[in-house]
Amino acid sequence: MIHFSNYRPKLIPYLGTVDPTSLARVQSIDPTVSLNREKIEELGRDGAVGYKKGIPNVTVRMTQYEHGNMEIYKLLANKPLSTQTLTLSDFRISMVDLLAYLQKDDGSMLGTVWYPKVRISGFGINIGSPDAMIERTFDLVGEGFKILQGDNRYLIYKSHTVTSDEVPTVTITLDDPVPVANPDTGEYMLRVLRVRAGETKELESSEYSYSESTNELTVSNVEENDVIRILYSASSYISGEEYFELNSTDPVVISADSVSIYLVSGEYIHRLQSVTIDVAFEREDQKEIGSSEVVLRGIKSQTVTVSLGRLLETWSIEEAMRDKPTGYGIIDVQQFKDNMGLVVKIYDNSLKQNFRYGIKVTGLSPTELRNGASVGNYTGADNTLEGSSLILTEDETVLGV
């Protein structure tokens, strides 16, 4: 059996040159693979002629505890880890390989589960109560799922930067570990990418070759500073390297008392009982005739939904929605403005001395108000707002408050 402590997830960004990165504080990964097989029948036959095999649909919901690190957002956007600020447009054409190495209780390696080229379809940040641990959720979509086992049980990533004396044909030795052929195709390379001047191209098999006798991969038509990124499977992992790195530097988890929440105008929001920010992407990913691969990726639109739950003591948020001062006589909801903004600052702990990163949502329009009252409870005041713009940043000055 596979204990959760032996399920070790990683992400490999597809675009650019960011290396595979282990995922920290993940609480669950819940994939669903729909094979899309359609039964074919015909007149004169009792039972099916066979099945039309469609392109699978893969969805993955991943939950992670907040630990004050933007790393996973950068990986999903295929951005360098040095990036400080992300907008929703950064996720339009990005995709990643999600994989997990699985080790049995007896210490032996079962293999690797691999979800290639998945794209983000939404994410959320949930602060469920004043005592809650903050959770992040990520929704991914794709078309593939592969199980690597036996002699192919490890998914291996290698990267090589071309030097001037390796132009125009570079030879890369792959002997640690030695690639094992795909038993379905006989091919040794699962993927070869070339990154040139920031542009990523997946190479055709005619653009490279692999020699089983010398364990050498030869890639043609390269230029100096090209980065060749390679995926293959093997029966062992890279010598002297761990296939999963533990994160022991970030906070274990960040709780609700370690955030500050403001309106963009600068007012601190008091008495909040819950905060949820949900981002949903309407993706436009297109295949082409003659291929099962997605060849064009994009996002047609994005929706950011903010839900604020609080106990009713003042009408401060409603006054801000009306753009009126404290104590304004009559607040008419039909006159709420539609350019609200919210800022969430995340710190190491409740002392709030070490800023980690922040979220800024702008262009919000109120969509729903709830002021429920019931016997035995204090009256609540819940607000839901909707917009299409969100920024994640490690630069506190970008937040403006």
CATH of domain 256-399: 2.30.110
Give me the residue spans of the domains in the chain: 154-234, 256-399
pLDDT value of residue 158: 98
Q: Please write the tens of the pLDDT for every residue from 21-48.
A: 999 999 999 999 999 888 999 999 998 9
Contact 115, 98 (CB under 8 A): yes
| Predicted pLDDT at 116 | 97
Instruction: Find out whether 382 and 309 touch, Cβ atoms under 8 Å.
Output: yes
User: pLDDT digits over 352-368, tens only?
Assistant: 999 999 999 999 988 88
pLDDT tens for each residue of 108-137:
999 999 999 999 999 999 999 999 999 999
The answer to whether 174 and 232 have CB atoms below 8 angstroms apart is yes
The string of pLDDT tens digits covering residues 75-116 is 999 999 999 999 999 999 999 999 999 999 999 999 999 999
Say which CATH architecture domain 154-234 belongs to.
Sandwich (2.60)
Q: How far is CA 343 from CA 140, 306, 380, in A?
A: 26, 11, 22
Q: Which amino acid is at 40?
A: I
| Residue listed under structure tokens 């992992």 | 237
- Mean pLDDT (10-residue bins), the chain, 401 residues: 95 97 98 91 91 91 98 98 97 97 95 98 96 98 96 98 97 98 97 97 97 98 98 98 96 97 83 92 86 83 92 72 77 78 96 97 89 75 90 97 90
- Least Cα distance to 231 among 159, 335, 165, 296 occurs for 159
Residues 6+ apart with CB under 8 A from 317: 263, 269, 308, 310, 381, 383
pTM over 0.85: yes
Tracing tokens 């132009």 back to the chain, one arrives at: 167
Q: For residue 310, which amino acid is it?
A: R
